[in-house]
Amino acid sequence: WIYNGKRILLVEDNELNQEIAQTILEDAGFMVETANDGVEAVKKMEQAVPGQYDLILMDIQMPVMNGYEAARKIRSSSREDAKNIPIIAMTANAFTEDVEAAYAAGMNEHIAKPLEFERLTGILKKWLG
C-alpha cells in the first residue's frame, strides 16, 4: 500500500473520533501516533526526531490548547521540519472564516468532520504523494 511507513500525528481530544480516525488511517497503511490536545501535540513535535512525522491531522476545538494555537507554536519552532510539515485542520466548523483561520494559523488544508473518507484520501494524496 502506498502509505506504508508514513507517520501521522493525529491530534484529537474526543476518544471516539480519535479511535475512528486512527482505524481509518491504519487501514490505509499509516503508522499513527496520537495526542489528546494541542499542548501534547506541540510537545510530541518538539521531542520527535526530525522528519519523524510526515503529516499532522489537527482537531481545532480542544481543551488546554486549541488547534490554531498548536499549529502556530509548531510553525514558530526553530525545527526545520516544523516549517514544512503538512498540518491539516479537522473541525466540525466548515464556514469560510474557519477555513481562513486555519490558513492564518499556518495550516495547509481544512477538512470538515465527520471525516469523509474520499475527501480525506484526496487530501492525504495531495500532501503525501
Q: How far apart are CA 78 and CA 11, in angstroms?
A: 21
Prediction pTM value: 0.95
Q: For 2-41, how does the pLDDT look when each residue is reduced to its tens digit (9 = 90+)?
A: 788 899 999 999 999 999 999 999 998 999 999 999 999 9
Backbone φ and ψ of 90, nearest 5°:
-120, 120
Q: How far apart are CA 18 and CA 51, in angstroms?
A: 23
Cell representation of residue 7? 507517520
Angular region, 82: left φ>0, alpha ψ -120 to 50, beta rest: alpha
Whole-number pLDDT of residue 1 = 54
The length of the chain is 129
